[in-house]
C-alpha cells in the first residue's frame, strides 16, 4: 500500500528538494580558493579563466589591447601597493585599501617627494563599484580616473575573482615584523677580513641604536617628515648571521638562522669570495637582499637581490673596451695575473671572454699564492714584458709583496683593480707612476670627496674610524637607504613592497656613495653600470683617463 502524503508534507518535501538543488548549484560554483587563483591569473598575466586574453581599451592609446600588456601588475606591481611613474601616482589596490570601511583604512605614501601626498579614506568598494572602476574608469565617488587606467571587458565572475585576489594580496605583514620591532639581518662570510667585519658591525649597531633612540624621543634624527605620519613605531633589531665552513653548507645555516629568528630583509653584509649560495637562499625564500659589499657578486640577480655593481667582472669588461681603443696603437699582447679564487677566476674569464673578436693575445697566469712561483712565471714572460700590458688582479697587500719598484723591465702599462685596491693603489716610485692605471668603479677627486662628506661627519659623531672609505661608504649608503625606505613604507611592511620601493627610490635621494651614479629599474638590479680607467697625477691622485665607460 502506497503511503498517502498530506499537502503540507508535499510542500515541505518540495522545499527540501529545492534547497538540495540550490546547495548543489552553489557547490558547483567556484570555491574561494578557485576565485583567488582566477584573480591571480587576471592580475599577473591578463588571462581569463577560459584561457582567453583579457581585453581592454586605454583612452590615451585609443585602441583595444589584450593580454599581459593590460595586466594589473604592470602598474599596481606584485604587492598591489601601486607605483610612481613620473608625476603620476598609482594608488594601492589591496583589500585593506579597497574594501575596509573609511575609518579602518591604512595609510600609504603615494609620492615620497611630497609627504602630504598620501592615500585618502573613501567608502568601501563593492562588486558594483569595483566593476564600474574596471569597466568604465570611474571611481567610487563618481570621479573619472586617469586615461592610463584601462577599461576592461569583464563579466561579474571575473570581477569577483579579482576582488578575491586583491583581498588576499599583502593581507598580513611579512616575517620578521612584530607589533614592536622589525628584524633585519646582515650576512658575513668566513673570507671577510677581521677589520671589515668589525667596521660593519660597529657601523650597523651605532646606526640602529641611533634610529631606535630617535624613534622613542620622536626627534626625527636619521628620519624623514613621513615618519610623523600615523603608523606604529617599531624598533629595528639587528641580527648578524655569520656563515662558516664550505659554501655548500651556507644555505642550510641561513635556513636555520631564519627559522630561529626570521628577518624581514637581508641588508648590507660582506664577502670577498662567492655570494651565490646566499643569493640562492634569498631568492628561494623570497627575502629581499639589499646591497651587500662584494667584489665578485653573482652575475645574474634575481627578483629579490640588489647589488652595487658586477664587481670585478664589470672592471674586466670596461678594461677590455678601453683596451680595444688602445690596441689600435699597440701593444696587443696582454698578460693578466690572477689568483685561483672566485674573484680572480671571475676577472680573468670575463676579460678573456670580452676580448673575443679583438686582435689581442692574452697570457693568463694563475697565482697559487706562492710569491716565488709568480716571480718565476713573470720572469718567463720578461722578454715580452716591454711590449705588453700587464693586468694584476691583486690586492694592495699582494701588490706590495711583488716589489714592483724593483722590476728591471716594466710593461707598457700596469692595470690594477679598483675593487681589490679599494680605489687607492699602493705607494709606487715616480718612475712607475706614469705606467700605472686603475679601473675605478668609484668616483674620483673632488666629486668623491663631496659625496662622502656626510659619511665623514657621521663617523666623527660616533667616534668611528675612516679606514676603508669605499666599503664604509657602501655600508653608510645602505643605512640611509633603509631609513628612507622604512619611512616611506609606514605600516605596509611587505617584502614585495620593499623590493618595489627599492627599485624606485634611487632617483629621488642624494648620492652619498662613492659611485658616480646609481639607478635601478624593475629589470635591472645592479645600481652602477660603469667605471673609469684612471691614472696617477703628479700628486699621486687618481684622475680619469677615460670617460665613464659602460661595457
Where in the sequence is the domain holding 426, given as residue range(s)?
312-440+533-544
Residue 18 is predicted with a pLDDT of: 42
Quick one: 302 and 325 in the same domain? no
What are the per-10-residue average pLDDT scores of the chain (551 residues)? 40 39 46 92 92 87 79 94 85 95 90 80 95 94 91 93 94 92 98 96 96 72 54 92 98 97 97 97 97 96 94 97 78 87 96 91 87 75 75 90 73 91 75 85 91 94 94 95 90 95 76 89 92 87 92 93
Closest to 473 measured CA to CA, from 200, 275, 265 = 200
Residue 29 is predicted with a pLDDT of: 62
Residue 376 is predicted with a pLDDT of: 76
- Tell which phi-psi region holds residue 222, choosing left (phi > 0), alpha (psi between -120 and 50) or beta: left
Residue 221 is predicted with a pLDDT of: 41
Domain containing residue 424: CATH number: 3.40.50.2300
- Residues 6 or more apart from 48 whose CB is under 8 A from it? 38, 41, 42, 54, 158
Q: Give the C-alpha separation, 178 to 196, whole Å.
A: 31
Quick one: 334 and 405 in the same domain? yes
Q: Give the C-alpha separation, 274 to 343, whole Å.
A: 8
Whether residue 427 is contained in a domain is answered as yes
Q: Where are the alpha helices (DSSP H) in 3-111?
A: 7-28, 32-45, 73-76, 95-98
Number of domains in the chain: 3
Whether residue 19 is contained in a domain is answered as no
Whether residue 175 is contained in a domain is answered as no
Quick one: 256 and 114 in the same domain? no
Q: Give the C-alpha separation, 301 to 529, whole Å.
A: 14
Where is the domain boundary, 117, 143, 168? 168
The 8-class DSSP code of residue 300 comes to: S
Quick one: 37 and 157 in the same domain? yes
Quick one: 46 and 123 in the same domain? yes
Whether residue 7 is contained in a domain is answered as no
Whether residue 338 is contained in a domain is answered as yes
Whether residue 17 is contained in a domain is answered as no
Amino acid at each position: 500500500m502506497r503511503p498517502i502524503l498530506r499537502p503540507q508534507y508535499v510542500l515541505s518535501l518540495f522545499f527540501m528538494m529545492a534547497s538540495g538543488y540550490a546547495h548543489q548549484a552553489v557547490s558547483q560554483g567556484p570555491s574561494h580558493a578557485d576565485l583567488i587563483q582566477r584573480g591571480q591569473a587576471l592580475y599577473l598575466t591578463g588571462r581569463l579563466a577560459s584561457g582567453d586574453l583579457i581585453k581592454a581599451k586605454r583612452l590615451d592609446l585609443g585602441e583595444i589591447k589584450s593580454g599581459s600588456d593590460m595586466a594589473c601588475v604592470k602598474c599596481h606591481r606584485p604587492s598591489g601597493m601601486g607605483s610612481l611613474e613620473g608625476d603620476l601616482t598609482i594608488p594601492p589596490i589591496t583589500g585593506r585599501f579597497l574594501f575596509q570601511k573609511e575609518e579602518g583604512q591604512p595609510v600609504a605614501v603615494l609620492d615620497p617627494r611630497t609627504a602630504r601626498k598620501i592615500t585618502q579614506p573613501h567608502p568601501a568598494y563593492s562588486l558594483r563599484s569595483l566593476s564600474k572602476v574596471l569597466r568604465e574608469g570611474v571611481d567610487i565617488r563618481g570621479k573619472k580616473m586617469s586615461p592610463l587606467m584601462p577599461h576592461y571587458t569583464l563579466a561579474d565572475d571575473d570581477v569577483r575573482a579579482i576582488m578575491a585576489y586583491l583581498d588576499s594580496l599583502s593581507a598580513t605583514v611579512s616575517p620578521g615584523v612584530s607589533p614592536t620591532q622589525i628584524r633585519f639581518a646582515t650576512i658575513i662570510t668566513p673570507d671577510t677580513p677581521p677589520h671589515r667585519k668589525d667596521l660593519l658591525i660597529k657601523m650597523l649597531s651605532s646606526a640602529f641604536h641611533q634610529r631606535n633612540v630617535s624613534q622613542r624621543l620622536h626627534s626625527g634624527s636619521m628620519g624623514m617628515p613621513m615618519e610623523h605620519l600615523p603608523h606604529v613605531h617599531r624598533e629595528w633589531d639587528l641580527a648578524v648571521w655569520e656563515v662558516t665552513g664550505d659554501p655548500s653548507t651556507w644555505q642550510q645555516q641561513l635556513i636555520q638562522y631564519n627559522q630561529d629568528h626570521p628577518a624581514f630583509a637581508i641588508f648590507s653584509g660582506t664577502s670577498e669570495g662567492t655570494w651565490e649560495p646566499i643569493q640562492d637562499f634569498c631568492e628561494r625564500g623570497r627575502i629581499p637582499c639589499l646591497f651587500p659589499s662584494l667584489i665578485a657578486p653573482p652575475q645574474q640577480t634575481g627578483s629579490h637581490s640588489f647589488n652595487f655593481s658586477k664587481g670585478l667582472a664589470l672592471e674586466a669588461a670596461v678594461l677590455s673596451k678601453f683596451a680595444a681603443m688602445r690596441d689600435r696603437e699597440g701593444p696587443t699582447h696582454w698578460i693578466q695575473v690572477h689568483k685561483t679564487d672566485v674573484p680572480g677566476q671571475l676577472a680573468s674569464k670575463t676579460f678573456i671572454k670580452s676580448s673575443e673578436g679583438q686582435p689581442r693575445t692574452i697570457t693568463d697566469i694563475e697565482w697559487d699564492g706562492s710569491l716565488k712561483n709568480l716571480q718565476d712565471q713573470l720572469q718567463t714572460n720578461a722578454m715580452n714584458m716591454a711590449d705588453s700590458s700587464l693586468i694584476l688582479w691583486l690586492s694592495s697587500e699582494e701588490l706590495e709583496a711583488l716589489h714592483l719598484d724593483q722590476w728591471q723591465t716594466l710593461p707598457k702599462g700596469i692595470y690594477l683593480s679598483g675593487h681589490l685596491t679599494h680605489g687607492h693603489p699602493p705607494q709606487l716610485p715616480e718612475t712607475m707612476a706614469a705606467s700605472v692605471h686603475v679601473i675605478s668603479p668609484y668616483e674620483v677627486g673632488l666629486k668623491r670627496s663631496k659625496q662622502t662628506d656626510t659619511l665623514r661627519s657621521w663617523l666623527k659623531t660616533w667616534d668611528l674610524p675612516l679606514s676603508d672609505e669605499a666599503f664604509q661608504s657602501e655600508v653608510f649608503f645602505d643605512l640611509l637607504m633603509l631609513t628612507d625606505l622604512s619611512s616611506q613604507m609606514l605600516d605596509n611592511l611587505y617584502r614585495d613592497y620593499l623590493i618595489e620601493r627599492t627599485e624606485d627610490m634611487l632617483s629621488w635621494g642624494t648620492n652619498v656613495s662613492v659611485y658616480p651614479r646609481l639607478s635601478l629599474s624593475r629589470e635591472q638590479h645592479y645600481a652602477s653600470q660603469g667605471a673609469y680607467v684612471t691614472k696617477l697625477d703628479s700628486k699621486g691622485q687618481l684622475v680619469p683617463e677615460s670617460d665613464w665607460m659602460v661595457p
